[in-house]
Amino acid sequence: MPTVLIVDDEPDIRELIRFTLEETGFRVLEAAHADAARKQLATEPPHLLLLDWMLPGRSGLELAAQLKQNPRTRTLPIIMISARGEEEDRVKGLDTGADDYISKPFSPREMVARIKAVLRRSHSEQQQDLIEIGGLCIDHLGHRVSAAGQPLNIAPTEYKLLHFFMTHANRAFSRAQLLDHVWGDHVYVEERTVDVHIRRLRKALEQTGHQHLLQTVRGVGYRFSEQ
């Protein structure tokens, strides 16, 4: 039975989410603020974190960024919840390393579908923990990227993009497909967002001379390949 930790300072919202998730077969834990969430994570780690952006004290955005920087919690799936529904806010939430973003108000059915989709995606990714292509190595369990023993500093969104490419090597993907697979098919951001992160990823790969592995396929999109 998957466990979901809800972090929201509004008791009514926590109660609604708890009821919905328990009816669907999830086990639910609760926290009203970031510090309580950190204590809960230390004592009983959940399978997924449902995290509100606006929290008293430390914001959900700050907490998500800290969790993604910590080796113990960086692979924990996070869905950000917020009343801030503008594209810039969604992109900012996902750039912290969140796996999905739900804008308030949302339907309980949609929330459950998003949670199940993120858990499926997370489980699938964990099946391929260590991948090496052209001398570039990604250790998904340790959340590390390296080449010839040299570690590369990769930001959260670029890491997810790289992991997707390396687990689907030699296949060309359109920008729309990359948005669906990496950002999630319910996250509405413009396709130009992909180009921005592709440029950032190539810049990061320049550290070890592996930027050539990330190829532009004219009229299609992008491909990751040694060839």
Q: Indicate if 114 and 163 belong to the same structural domain.
A: no
Q: Indicate if 97 and 177 belong to the same structural domain.
A: no
Q: Indicate if 147 and 171 belong to the same structural domain.
A: yes
Upstream peptide bond of 105 is cis (omega within 30 degrees of 0): yes
The per-residue pLDDT for 49 is 94
For the segment 77-96, what is each residue's pLDDT rounded down to a tens digit?
999 998 876 777 777 778 88
Model confidence band, residue 124 (pLDDT cutoffs 50, 70, 90): low
The per-residue pLDDT for 156 is 87
CB distance 124 to 110 below 8 Å: no
Q: Indicate if 7 and 118 belong to the same structural domain.
A: yes
Please give the structure tokens belonging to residue 35: 């510090």
Q: How many domains does the chain fold into? A: 2
Q: Indicate if 110 and 7 belong to the same structural domain.
A: yes
Whether residue 101 is predicted with pLDDT greater than 90 in this model: the reply is no
Please give the structure tokens belonging to residue 208: 């070890």
The residue range of the domain holding 141 is: 128-224
To the nearest 10°, report the CA torsion of 143, 206, 61, 85: -120
Whether residue 36 is predicted with pLDDT greater than 90 in this model: the reply is yes
Summarize the confidence of residues 129-136 as an average pLDDT.
85
Summarize the confidence of residues 189-214 as an average pLDDT.
91
CA–CA separation, 44 vs 117, rounded Å? Answer: 22
CA–CA separation, 150 vs 133, rounded Å? Answer: 15
- Domain-ending residue, one of 87, 108, 125: 125
Q: Indicate if 104 and 190 belong to the same structural domain.
A: no
Q: Indicate if 121 and 10 belong to the same structural domain.
A: yes
Q: Name the amino acid, one letter, at 171.
A: R
- Domain-ending residue, one of 125, 149, 168: 125
The per-residue pLDDT for 141 is 73
- Domain-ending residue, one of 125, 149, 169: 125
Summarize the confidence of residues 43-68 as an average pLDDT.
89
Whether residue 126 is predicted with pLDDT greater than 70 in this model: the reply is no
61-65, 138-142, 205-209: which range is least confident on average?
A: 138-142
The per-residue pLDDT for 190 is 79
Summarize the confidence of residues 24-42 as an average pLDDT.
91
Whether residue 153 is predicted with pLDDT greater than 70 in this model: the reply is yes
Q: Indicate if 38 and 90 belong to the same structural domain.
A: yes
Element (H, E) at 52: strand 48-52
Model confidence band, residue 198 (pLDDT cutoffs 50, 70, 90): very high
Summarize the confidence of residues 67-79 as an average pLDDT.
85
Whether residue 21 is predicted with pLDDT greater than 70 in this model: the reply is yes
47-51, 87-91, 117-121, 165-169: which range is least confident on average?
A: 87-91
CB distance 7 to 82 below 8 Å: no
Report the CATH number that the domain containing residue 109 is assigned in CATH: 3.40.50.2300
3-class DSSP assignment, residue 34: helix
Pick 85 or 74 by higher pLDDT: 74
CA–CA separation, 137 vs 195, rounded Å? Answer: 23
Range of 140-149, 187-196, 206-215 with top mean pLDDT: 206-215
Determine the number of helices (DSSP H) and then strands (DSSP E) in the chain.
Answer: 8, 12
Report the CATH number that the domain containing residue 190 is assigned in CATH: 1.10.10.10
Please give the structure tokens belonging to residue 82: 């917020």
The per-residue pLDDT for 90 is 74
Q: Could you give the C-alpha distances from 152 to 77, 144, 162, 207, in angstroms and in order? A: 22, 8, 12, 7
Task: Please state, rounded to an integer, the average pLDDT across all residues of the chain.
Answer: 87
